[in-house]
Amino acid sequence: MKKQILLLLTLFISLTTFAQKNELKAADKAIKKMDFATAKASISQAESLIANADDKTKAKFYYLKGQTYAGLSKTAPTAENYKAAADSYNTLFDLEKKIKSKKYTVLAEPSLNTMISDISAKGIKSYQDKNYEAAKNELYQVYTLSKKDTAFLEYAANSAYLAKDYDTALDYFTQLKEVGYTGILTEYTAKNVETGERENMASKTQMDLMIKSKQYVEPKTTTSESKQPSIIKNIAFVYVEKGDTEKAIAAVKDARKIAPNDVNLILTEANLQIKLGNKDEFAALMNQAIELDPTNASLYFNLGVISGEQGDIEKAKEYYNKAIELKPDYVDAYVNLGSAILEGDKALVEEMNQNLSNFDKYDKIKAKQVVLYKKAIPVYEKANELKPNDIDTVRTLMSLYENAEMDDKFTEMKKIYDSLK
């Protein structure tokens, strides 16, 4: 009886092996004919039989499965087809590494690299075209095809954020945090003796060879800063967009553990604290930021923005003036200072509307309005001088000149405005 069972078992294994080989042969034949639908059917049949196959047969199966789905992805470029191809190839690579073979790996690598190249080109183009909805999926597909290319997960996360898909952005940024992504790059450069220009080298080896050739001098190796604080900061920004301020603060605090002296992180937390009404924490963080970087014009500019958003216009003006003092050509600071000055116009307009029938009072308020406009005009004129023909600044100046009855300047500015439209 035992011999009969053993014989039946041996016969079953033989039949299974025969079926495996037949299905794999059929898939191979269909792939060569570019008939990927037929190949898929054969692969599906073989998949149910592959568990007990030997490693060499498994390697062939995963290679053919990868080829099948890579072929299908050309006519049906879906995430499912790309993932099936990538998963099969990566399983193949792991298996052949274990059995110390590269028979199918060398055949599969070019196919996987072609897929990665094609999809990354699509994703980059979508991003450049500001089609962030498409880019977030295409760039994430690149990452799923090659998990070592973590930078594409960062690009996908940024695309999702710009597409306002905050749930997906949070997922991708969180994945970056969990894998410990730093984005640190090492760059090798040397100066071309003939042109005097500094050029990038592919590797340290290439840089050393170019120096030895005497065609290049002054080799330089630079390492970029870690992106970890930025990634965690982006998680905070996503929580802000989702209206979850407390989780946003927690994310910023995590980022500050990595980069405690990052002024932008301090500003981000300060802005979040004030949204929660925590004025003492806000003030402490502001003082900390100024202590860390007292001559940073951008810092004072950002403080001006935050103060303006919180309704403290006088404080905002102080910060914009300080930014201008530190950086006299700071165009945005002039524009925002002008806007802060004109905040006083809202109350005047409201008061004028309440006194439409009281001509004397109306005229007095109107005179105050003209004084206000004439205070703002030099600020906008300076902005226009530093950045000529910016349509928003030109439009504002044109309106101010008109309301201040500065007719000659109004006419001159209107000509410029009309030429920019």
- Distance from C-alpha of 8 to C-alpha of 70, rounded to nearest angstrom: 39
Q: What is the Cα–Cα distance from 62 to 107, expressed in whole angstroms?
A: 12
CA–CA distance, 306 with 82 (Å, rounded to integer):
45
Interval 210-233 mean pLDDT: 85
Q: Give, to the nearest 10 degrees, the angle between helix 331-341 and helix 297-309.
A: 30
Note whether 92 and 66 are within 8 A (CB): yes
Q: Which residues contact 151 (CB under 8 A, 6 or more apart)?
A: 183
> Where is pLDDT greater, at 51 or 416?
416
pLDDT value, residue 15? 36
Q: Where are the alpha helices (DSSP H) in 129-262?
A: 132-145, 151-162, 166-178, 204-212, 228-241, 245-258
Share of the chain above pLDDT 70, in %: 94
Asked whether residue 42 carries a pLDDT value surpassing 90, the answer given is no
68: amino acid identity, one letter: T
Res 18: pLDDT: 42
Which of 182-191, 203-212, 394-403 has the highest average model confidence (pLDDT)? 394-403
Give the length of the chain.
421
Res 205 pLDDT > 80:
yes
Residue with the bigger pLDDT between 276 and 198: it is: 198
pLDDT of the residue at 130: 93
In angstroms, the CA 320 to CA 132 distance is: 34
208 has pLDDT over 60: yes
What would the mean pLDDT of 357-373 be, rounded to a whole number? 83
Q: Mind listing the pLDDT tens digit for each residue in 72-121? A: 888 888 878 888 888 888 888 998 899 899 998 898 888 888 888 888 89
What CATH number does the domain located at 2-162 have? 1.25.40
* Per-residue pLDDT tens over the stretch 290-318: 899 899 898 889 888 888 888 889 999 99
Tokens of 299: 């810092």
User: Among positive and negative, which fits the CA dihedral 228, 234, 236, 238?
Assistant: negative
DSSP 120: H
216-223 and 198-201 strand pairing? unpaired
| Model confidence, pTM | 0.61
Q: Say if residue 17's pLDDT is above 70.
A: no
pLDDT band at 21 (very low <50, low <70, confident <90, very high): low
Higher-confidence position of 204 and 277 = 204
* 18-32, 301-315, 323-337, 355-369: range with highest mean pLDDT: 323-337
Over range 162-168, report the average pLDDT: 95
Q: Looking at residue 359, what is its pLDDT?
A: 77
Rounded to the nearest 5°, which phi and psi values hold at 221? -115, 125
Sheet of strand 198-201: strand arrangement: 198-201, 186-192, 216-223
Please determine, for residue 11, whether its predicted confidence score (pLDDT) is greater than 50.
no
Degrees to nearest 5, angle at CA 137 with 135 and 138:
65
**What SS3 class is residue 184?**
coil
Summary mean pLDDT of the chain: 85
Phi, psi for 168 (deg, rounded to 5): -65, -40
Region 36-57: mean pLDDT is 79
Q: Please tell me the chain's helix, strand, coil percentages from 3-state DSSP, rounded to the nearest 5.
A: 75, 5, 20
* Structure tokens, 227: 């992106």
**Position 69 confidence tier, pLDDT thresholds 50, 70, 90:** confident
pLDDT at 9: 37
For residue 223, what is the enclosing H or E element? strand 216-223
Q: Cα Rg for the chain, rounded, in angstroms?
A: 33
Q: Where are the alpha helices (DSSP H) in 297-390?
A: 297-309, 313-326, 331-341, 344-353, 359-386
